[in-house]
Amino acid sequence: METLNLHQILNADTWLNLDKGIFKLIFKRGGIIAGSFARFAFFGHIDGIKYPSDIDIFCLNLEHYEALKRFFNNYLKIKNESKFAITYHPDRSLGFYKPLQLIKPRKEGNIVTYGNVTEILDNFDFTVNRIAFSGPQTVTLDKNIEEDLLKKRLIIHNIHCPIGILIRIMKYTKKGFNISFVEFIKVMEAWEKIDGVHKRTLIEFLNIVRSEDGRVIESFESFESFAGEDSAKWSKKEALFEQILKLLYVD
């Protein structure tokens, strides 16, 4: 099956066996494993690219989300919870060694975090992340993902917010990927297309990121730390922080 530059493989020959442990239970409850861990499970480790930091789980609908949440809460320990995801500690007895992140279902504007595999992957930003398992050997992936992955290049598929995608680019260059000038042009074009009110709001956000003591947020990690520590000080800007932070929770 091919749609939206996606290709589905049934009975895929995967690098990692997902037909056991926690993964088998996730699929049984309608979960979808997508993003960098799905990429790792299918292709294996690529030299020079950092291993995935967590396992992102998406859901077809709210019913499946609630079922997975109940299951995880019964058997796993919560590491932290935000408005966008619940993160659980790894459990070696269940066969997974990275934090498991259950993405909360949201549809806000053009941001979609639940639905069928096509809907979920069409919302992803980079082609190298457009891969998902809806079953142990059922994988849907971007037609160009292998070429882009082997060349370690970031090709932008979707831009929700110009500032958000720049933060994501910072994150992924530290993971071992590179990006061309042509892709940066896409970000500039996205900036030009947003309306004046939104643009002023984003500029205001950048000014807020320069915190009270004059500290400049120079990296993705320091931005995440700043957002986690200091966003409560800016309650009147909560919606603004949400707009940016919701783009950061998919690895």
**Which has the closest alpha carbon to 160: 131, 126, 208, 128?**
126
Same domain, 209 and 131: no
Domain boundary among 150, 185, 208: 150
- For residue 19, the cross-strand partners are none
pLDDT above 50 for 27 = yes
**Angle in degrees, 0-180, between the axes of helices 162-174 and 196-209, rounded to the nearest 10:** 40
pLDDT above 80 for 233 = no
Q: Which of 3-7, 45-49, 87-91, 128-132 has the lowest mean pLDDT?
A: 3-7
Note whether residue 57 is domain-resident. yes
Same domain, 6 and 126: yes
Question: What is the domain-level CATH number for residue 132?
Answer: 3.30.460
Same domain, 136 and 18: yes
Note whether residue 118 is domain-resident. yes
Same domain, 37 and 143: yes
C-alpha torsion sign, points 219, 220, 225, 226: positive
- Kindly report the length of the chain: 251
Q: Is 95 left (phi over 0), alpha (psi -120 to 50) or beta?
A: left
Average pLDDT over residues 109-115: 82
Same domain, 11 and 120: yes
Local confidence band at 202 (pLDDT 50, 70, 90 cut-offs): confident
Neighbours of 135 (CB within 10 A): 17
What's the CA gap between 202 and 196, in Å, rounded? 10
DSSP state of 152: T
Same domain, 25 and 130: yes
Note whether residue 101 is domain-resident. yes
Contact 216, 208 (CB under 8 A): no
Q: How many CA atoms lie within 13 A of 227 on its CB side?
A: 23
Token pair 């966003």 is found at: 231
What pLDDT is attached to residue 240?
54
Domain boundary among 92, 116, 150: 150
What's the CA gap between 140 and 34, in Å, rounded? 9
Average pLDDT over residues 30-58: 94
Note whether residue 98 is domain-resident. yes
Read off the pLDDT of residues 78-110 as tens digits, 9 standing for 90 and up. Answer: 999 988 899 999 998 888 889 999 999 988 767
% of residues, the chain, pLDDT over 70: 79
Same domain, 41 and 124: yes
Instruction: Give the total number of structural domains in the chain.
Output: 2
Q: How many CA atoms lie within 13 A of 102 on its CB side?
A: 31
What's the CA gap between 225 and 247, in Å, rounded? 15
Local confidence band at 209 (pLDDT 50, 70, 90 cut-offs): low
What's the CA gap between 196 and 193, in Å, rounded? 9
Token pair 């042009």 is found at: 185
Domain boundary among 150, 173, 201: 150
Same domain, 145 and 184: no
Containing structural domain, residue 45: 2-150
